[in-house]
Amino acid sequence: MRNGCLATAIVVFQVLGYVAASSADADVLAAGARFPDWTMQDQSGVPRSAADFAGKPYLLWFYPRASTPGCTAEGRGFRDAYAELQGEGLAILGVSFDAPERNAEFAHEEEFPFALLSDTSKSLAIAVGAADSASQGVARRVSYLVGPDGVVWVAYASVDPRDHAAQVLSDVRARRAAPVQPQGGQSKVVD
């Protein structure tokens, strides 16, 4: 019985830690800011960096933990819209604090066609408002749509995992059609 109580306490602590991390106000980069350079391992252990995407727009979506319900829903949304997003010239990159091996399991289980990156040092997350410190257990659910020149097109400070892929696709298409000015809400778009 004692082990059962301990396990329950650990789960409650983890859930509360997740809620605290995901509900805190993220100090995200503003649209128009230069996105920091980064290098992280993907789920295969291959180093990926911002330089790999120079000249191409990409989305970096931070998710709290592999294989959890919200992260799975968000990843499935990107998986299901992947062909359309690629058709718009957009690369999709998930980022969590999970080890590459855990991200590999997640990508395999869900048949994700995009890279999942491991920010195990939490340095990028801290730099872009997805974490406050290296002691934070999970990343906040924030995303950045970064232009081919490394400048933030759209900063998503608050994300609904169920419709984020559709939101990103809409923003990319709107950007192609004509530059959009901020109109309140969760995202900011700049020229």
Query: What's the pLDDT tens digit per position in 142-180?
Result: 999 999 999 999 999 989 999 999 999 999 999 888 554
Residue numbers of the domain that contains 34: 2-177
- The total number of residues shown for the chain amounts to 191
135 within domain boundaries: yes
pTM: 0.80
94 within some domain: yes
**pLDDT value of position 178:** 59
For residue 131, pLDDT over 80 is answered with yes
Instruction: Please check whether residue 188 lies inside any domain of the structure.
Output: no
Question: In sequence order, which residues have a C-beta less than 8 Å from that of residue 137 and are 6 or more positions away?
Answer: 14, 17, 18, 21, 97
Q: Is residue 12 part of a domain?
A: yes
Quick: pLDDT tens for 94-130.
999 999 999 999 999 999 999 999 999 999 999 999 9
CATH code for the domain in which residue 106 is found: 3.40.30.10
Question: So what's the pLDDT on residue 44?
Answer: 97
Q: Which amino acid is at 128?
A: V
Classify residue 19: in a domain, yes or no.
Answer: yes
Count of structural domains, the chain: 1
Specify if 148 maps to a domain.
Answer: yes
* Residues that are catalytic: 71
Mean pLDDT, to the nearest integer, of 128-136?
96
Classify each residue of 101-139 as buried b or exposed e, where b means 16 or more C-beta atoms within 10 Å of its C-beta.
ebbbbbbeebebebbbbbbeebebbbebbbbbeeebbbb
* Confidence (pLDDT) at 183: 45
Q: Is residue 16 part of a domain?
A: yes
